[in-house]
């Protein structure tokens, strides 16, 4: 009786094991390849690297990437959580502070101040959505909508 039971359970188990080995043999090893990279005008940059310049932040391939902008100048304050950043003749970038933004220094955010901002690059909403979501004036919402991307700041250093 015990032998018959072992055969009834053992044979299906051997068949399943043989099929699993055959499937693994057929699939083979995963190819060893380099991590995904994006070609830029200069050297190859990994997508996982944070955006480090204002110019990079303005490109469409920056959407969804982390950003760490060091020593950037605040150009203009639009509201309690909304700013334009960038220096000199650079195209300005719109910045939205997270309601729970982490501040590691006591830096006052005023025009001309230089700060380090850490956050995520996001696509801008439409003009109407920007007015409604962020309570911007129609003129400011139009400028934001034309910019293409904005920086959602989670940390100020």
The pLDDT > 70 percentage for the chain reads: 87
**Per-residue model confidence as pLDDT tens digits over 98-144:** 999 988 777 788 999 999 999 999 999 999 999 999 999 999 999 99
Asked if residue 60 is part of any domain, the answer here is: yes
pLDDT value, residue 47: 58
Task: With beta carbons less than 8 A apart as the criterion, state whether 80 and 67 touch.
Answer: no
d(CA 115, CA 74): 8
Q: What SS3 state is found at 54?
A: helix
pLDDT-derived band of residue 34, with 50, 70 and 90 as boundaries? low
Asked if residue 81 is part of any domain, the answer here is: yes
The structural domain count of the chain equals 1
33 compared with 76, residue with greater pLDDT: 76
pLDDT-derived band of residue 33, with 50, 70 and 90 as boundaries? low
Residue among 65, 77, 78 at smallest CA distance from 151: 65
CATH number of the domain that residue 80 is part of: 2.40.50.140
Complete DSSP assignment for 25-63: HHH-PPP--PPPEE--SSS-EETTSPB-SHHHHTSGGGT
User: pTM higher than 0.85, yes or no?
Assistant: no
Looking at every residue in the chain, the average pLDDT score rounds to: 83
- Residues of the domain holding 119: 46-156
Asked if residue 21 is part of any domain, the answer here is: no
Q: In this structure, how many other beta carbons lie within 10 angstroms of the beta carbon of residue 154?
A: 16
Please determine, for residue 48, whether its predicted confidence score (pLDDT) is greater than 80: no
**Per-residue model confidence as pLDDT tens digits over 77-94:** 998 899 999 887 888 899
**Per-residue model confidence as pLDDT tens digits over 49-64:** 888 888 888 776 788 8
DSSP annotation of 60: G
């Amino acid at each position: 009786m015990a032998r018959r039971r072992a055969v009834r359970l053992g044979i299906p188990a051997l068949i399943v094991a043989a099929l699993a080995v055959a499937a693994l043999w057929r699939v083979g090893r995963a190819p060893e390849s380099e991590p995904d990279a994006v070609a830029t005008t200069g050297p190859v940059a990994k997508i996982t690297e944070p955006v480090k310049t204002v110019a990079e932040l303005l490109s469409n391939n920056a959407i969804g990437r982390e950003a760490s902008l060091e020593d950037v100048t605040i150009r203009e304050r639009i509201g309690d959580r909304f700013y334009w950043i960038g220096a000199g003749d650079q195209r300005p970038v719109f910045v939205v502070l997270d309601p729970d933004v982490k501040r590691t220094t006591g830096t006052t955010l005023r025009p001309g101040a230089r700060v380090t901002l850490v956050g995520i690059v996001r696509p801008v909403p439409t003009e109407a959505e920007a007015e409604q979501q962020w309570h911007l004036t129609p003129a400011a919402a139009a400028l934001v909508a034309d910019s293409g991307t904005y920086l959602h700041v989670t940390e100020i250093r």
